[in-house]
Amino acid sequence: MAMTITTEAEWLKARLNGIGASEASAIVGCNPYMSNTDLWKVKTGRKKAADISSNEHVAYGHAAEGPIRELFALDYTGRYEVSYGGAFDMVHNPEYPWLFATLDGRLVEKGTGRHGILEIKTAEILRSIAREKWRDGVPDNYYVQLLHQLLATGWDFAVLHAQLKRVWDGEVKTTRQSYFIERAEVEGDLAYLLEQETKFWGYVQRDQMPPLILPNI
């Protein structure tokens, strides 16, 4: 179920009334920047969400998203139809209206008509541990984000397309990688995440702080 939102103020207000994809990892202890109790304080109005819009890496990611989406569409022109609903393209799960996602892109698989999610990420690889996380697959916090988006949309698959950047001696090197997740292969993880998010939202509605889950850094 798509929600019509036209301004950033409306989008920010809507986010307070549910759980977004980038927030889901905090609920299961996979967000290195926020715990589940921090998120609970935001949702219950005890704390304001941090404004990270001026962060250098966040600003870069926002500026790069459109060009990267266009490159993805060119690279996969024979496989997907790619569309973009705008910065406030918010989709709600019809059964759990507090569960929503704002999408970087919508995919339709040519030949099958299956629907999928496009998530775009930019990351600066500064340390070997960061390289290992991306080499071995989708980092845990982004994997949970994709699962949440599948829950919100009910769609068949998700693609995370990442631009990985390294700066060495003033030279910038970038690579792009795509990671594919089929809904049918992650049903168990989807069920677990839905259970945990439902419990968390119950704590919000009861105004009761959940037990602390320390972020897995």
Query: Alpha-carbon distance 183 to 161, whole Å?
Result: 17
Confidence of residue 200 (pLDDT cuts 50, 70, 90): very high
Asked whether the beta carbons of 201 and 98 are under 8 A apart, the reply is yes
- Write down the domain spans for the chain: 2-206
Q: Around Cβ 47, how many Cβ atoms within 10 Å?
A: 13
Please tell me the distance from the alpha carbon of residue 128 to that of residue 101, in angstroms, as a whole number. Answer: 31
Instruction: Number of helices (H) and strands (E) in the chain: give both, helices first.
Output: 7, 8
Q: Of residues 82 and 55, which shows the higher confidence score? A: 82
Angle between helices 187-206 and 36-43 (to 10 degrees): 50
Highest-confidence range of 37-41, 85-89, 123-127, by mean pLDDT? 37-41
Q: Tell me if 212 sits within 8 A of 36, measured CB to CB.
A: yes
Q: Could you give the 3-state DSSP secondary structure of residue 165?
A: strand
Q: 10-52 pLDDT, tens per residue?
A: 666 666 789 999 999 999 999 988 999 999 999 999 998 877 6
- Beta pairing, strands 80-83 & 90-92: unpaired
H or E element: which one contains 100? strand 100-102
Complete edge-to-edge strand list for the sheet that includes strand 100-102: 2-3, 90-92, 100-102
Query: Is the whole-model pTM more than 0.85?
Result: yes
The CATH code of the domain at 2-206 is: 3.90.320.10
